[in-house]
Chains A and B, each alone.
Chain A
Amino acid sequence: MNNLPENGHALRPIVTSIPLPAGFEPTWAGPLAGHAFCIGSEDGRILFTNEIGKPMFGPTKASESGEAVNGVAMSGMWLATATRADVCFSPLARSEKGERESLVLPLGTHGIDATASGFFIAPLGQAGIMVASPPFTADGFITAYEPGKEGFYSYRAGCLRGANQTEVLITAGRLGGIGFTKFVGSDRQLVMTTATLEALDVVDFCPLFPGTESFALAVLGRDRRLLFIKDALTDKKPATFEFKTIEGVAYRVLSCRGDVYVATSKGLYMAANLATDFMNSRIGETINTQVLVMPMEIVDANLCGDEWLLAVTPDGVRRFDVHALHDSQPDDTQGAILRRVAESHAATSSKTLKFDEVMQNSSELALAG
């Protein structure tokens, strides 16, 4: 099923495979600092490669539990590796004694991210959100914010940074909706605004214009419904979209160069210029979108800057050139494998959307050496 051509374009190959060592079964792949990739495995190891997939470090054990890696993030000189059973914080530099001892939070998370201000953020499911700032010590503590409302299940968490270094913490809360709150990092309590849409099982979100000061974001439901928000702090009339072309169980939404990507159990879909067209639209206005279909089985997907998209498949890791995808022409169908479908949608808001405010109190969790 994963039969996308290795060289889709004569000059810019749209997709290439990242070579992996024998026995390394990938479960996660994403960016490391600079132009490097990090790939996590089913048995808790990580591998660093350069952009062409040449190994730079590892594979090395990064999870104490040896469980499948579901996220890796870096902040300062610390690396955090998340699994369903623990989060391991590893210093990148050796101590004065020449040691490099990891510290473990013996709690599972659904992933991990790092904010621009240097915090690690991880969704703890019904336990809320973990917030941690390096450096870490063996007798240290980590902050956890409770969900604040019944049914708000923290499934993905991350921060957007706007003007004046203002940060907004976003949480995908499954049937509890999507949550937003201004984030300082030292607050004992957060006041989170939640938006819920009837039966929308929120599994992911992404900034529409990563790397900018925009608070515009896309929210993804497990049923592939998309919610587009022009400003997470002020927009009370997000637009909803449901593309017929997109099939399967929705996993990820990503946005780059004005295009929106949705990864599902059936494949990777690119809604060309949707982010840009949405931001330029008025309420009710029709948006015409070309949806590029790339059928494949996907485990996970992440953007690496504005050049690459890494898709983990059962066969390995595939690196997509999002620049080349963005520039590809509507008639550039590359045989029967890639196809484009035109869809038109009105940028209208759902009447069943509800906003709520909840208080999230914090507690401290102990680290283990």
Chain B
Amino acid sequence: MPTLAAIVVHGQTTVTSGYQYQFTPKHHGADAKAAQWLPRLTLDDEFAVFNAADEHQLMDDSGSLYGLQREGHDGLRTIGTRSEQIAEFPHAREGEPWHGYPHYPLKELGHVERRGKRFPPPKEVFQRMVETGLISNAMKRRLMGGKHV
């Protein structure tokens, strides 16, 4: 993935919901403090993660989507520069393009949580990943513990 200087909107929309997706400079090299997509992931790869998240409805109760990509039979592809394996796509308002970034697996200092909202992704999203066959139950428990698979 090249470093981006400006927002790029993908030419396709998601198959299930027809969502537009945009690639942001912030998560493509412009902000060293922000989560970064792994440079070897192409923009098409990134969109494929988003498309699959929409297809499988890996959504929390605030409408954010979570994506991942299988690697072999029992692993997940690393998608972020900090070894992240799950992507987070915050809910976008209707008609606006979505964006996303690799989800850091640990709660960090300064993480702001809305009252009653748990650290993402919630258990229900991991369970949905199991039900749709994207991960095994063993993988789910490792990911819920912030561990790699």
**Which residues from chain A sit less than 8 Å from chain B, CB to CB?**
25-28, 42, 65-70, 83-86, 106-110, 124-127, 153, 155, 174-175, 201, 203, 222, 248-249, 251, 265-266, 297-300, 312-314, 365
Collect the chain B residues with CB atoms within 8 Å of residue A298's CB: 138
Collect the chain A residues with CB atoms within 8 Å of residue B75's CB: 248-249, 265
Collect the chain A residues with CB atoms within 8 Å of residue B109's CB: 106-107, 127, 365
Interface of B, secondary structure class, is loop
Is B61 engaged at the interface, CB distance under 8 Å to the other chain? no
Collect the chain A residues with CB atoms within 8 Å of residue B147's CB: 70, 110, 251, 300
Contact: A127 with B108, CB < 8 Å?
yes
Contact: B146 with A70, CB < 8 Å?
yes
Is B40 engaged at the interface, CB distance under 8 Å to the other chain? no
With A67-B118, A84-B144 given, is the CB distance from A124 to B138 under 8 Å?
Answer: no
Can you add 11 more A-B contacts, CB < 8 Å, to A27-B141, A299-B138, A312-B141? Answer: A42-B141, A42-B144, A67-B119, A68-B144, A70-B147, A124-B106, A127-B106, A249-B148, A265-B75, A297-B138, A365-B109
Q: List 18 A-B contacts (CB under 8 A).
A: A66-B118, A67-B119, A85-B106, A85-B119, A86-B107, A106-B111, A107-B106, A108-B105, A124-B106, A125-B82, A155-B148, A174-B83, A249-B74, A251-B147, A265-B75, A299-B138, A313-B138, A314-B141
Nearest residue in B to A315 (C-beta to C-beta)?
Answer: B137
Contact: B118 with A299, CB < 8 Å?
no
With A127-B109, A265-B75, A266-B74 given, is the CB distance from A68 to B145 under 8 Å?
Answer: yes
Measured CB to CB, the closest approach of chain A to B145, in angstroms, equals 4
Contact: B146 with A108, CB < 8 Å?
yes
Cα A174 to Cα B38 in complex, Å, equals 15
Measured CB to CB, the closest approach of chain B to A4, in angstroms, equals 15
With A84-B119, A265-B74 given, is the CB distance from A110 to B106 under 8 Å?
Answer: yes
Contact: B138 with A108, CB < 8 Å?
no
With A42-B123, A67-B118, A106-B107 given, is the CB distance from A153 to B142 under 8 Å?
Answer: no
Collect the chain B residues with CB atoms within 8 Å of residue A85's CB: 106-107, 118-119
Contact of A297 among B82, B136, B146 (CB under 8 A): B136
Is B104 engaged at the interface, CB distance under 8 Å to the other chain? yes
Cα A107 to Cα B123 in complex, Å, equals 18
Contact: B148 with A83, CB < 8 Å?
no
Q: For chains A and B in complex, what number of residue pairs have CB atoms within 8 angstroms?
A: 110
With A65-B119, A109-B106 given, is the CB distance from A299 to B148 under 8 Å?
Answer: no
Contact of B82 among A66, A153, A365 (CB under 8 A): A153
Contact of B141 among A25, A153, A266 (CB under 8 A): A25
Contact: B108 with A67, CB < 8 Å?
no
Contact of A203 among B72, B82, B104, B148 (CB under 8 A): B148
Give residues of chain B (93-119) contacting chain A, Cβ–Cβ below 8 Å.
104-109, 111, 118-119
Contact of A107 among B83, B107, B139, B149 (CB under 8 A): B107
Contact: A314 with B106, CB < 8 Å?
no
Nearest residue in A to B81 (C-beta to C-beta)?
Answer: A151
Collect the chain A residues with CB atoms within 8 Å of residue B137's CB: 297, 314
With A84-B119, A201-B83, A249-B148 given, is the CB distance from A68 to B74 under 8 Å?
Answer: no
Contact: B138 with A153, CB < 8 Å?
no
Nearest residue in B to A110 (C-beta to C-beta)?
Answer: B146
Contact: B104 with A125, CB < 8 Å?
yes
Contact: B145 with A28, CB < 8 Å?
yes
Contact: B145 with A69, CB < 8 Å?
yes
Measured CB to CB, the closest approach of chain A to B39, in angstroms, equals 13
Cα A85 to Cα B122 in complex, Å, equals 12
Collect the chain B residues with CB atoms within 8 Å of residue A27's CB: 141-142, 144-145
Cα A222 to Cα B71 in complex, Å, equals 13
